[in-house]
Amino acid sequence: MATDKQTKIRTKTQDGVTDVLVLVSHPMETGLRVDPKTKEKVPPHFIQKMSFFLDGKEVASSDLGTAVAKDPLIGIKLKGAKPGAKLKVTWSDNKGESASEETTIS
């Protein structure tokens, strides 16, 4: 059974500018929501850091909070990224979970 990847990266280059969009399947729980079944507050569970690397060099880094929406869609732009360049995105959350995904700029 094929499982959907948790972290997906989409890049689109036009006129020397590359749009990068990262979609992560993540609950981004604020810690305020009450579970309707247990009546308890669901503890915070959210991505805190997401970093972007182009051919191994960090080009952007972001700090995210609980106000970022569930299944965050984060976008950055790059200039002059060459086709074939490797773009890596890493993220980590407040529970210590993390992931890394890589793609090639087309």
Partner 1 sequence: MLDEIFLEDPVTQAPRRTFLRNTLATAVLVAVGGTGLLSPHRALAADWPKDAFTAKKLEDAVQALFGSGTLSPSASIKLKAPAQAENSAQVQIQVSAELPNVDAIAIFVEKNPSPLVAHASFSGAEGYFSARMKMAQTSDVVAVVKSGGKLYSARQNIKVTVGGCGG
Residues of this chain that interact with partner 1 (CB under 8 A) are: 17, 21, 30, 32-34, 48-49, 52, 54, 57-70, 72-79, 92, 94, 96
CA separation for the pair 47, 70 (Å, rounded): 10
Closer to partner 1 by CB, 6 or 48: give it.
48
53, 63, 26, 9 alpha-carbon torsion, rounded to 10°: -20
Closer to partner 1 by CB, 34 or 102: give it.
34
What lies within 8 Å, CB to CB, of 90 at 6+ separation is 50, 51, 53, 98, 99, 100, 101
Cβ of residue 4: shortest distance to partner 1, in angstroms? Answer: 18
Cβ of residue 52: shortest distance to partner 1, in angstroms? Answer: 7
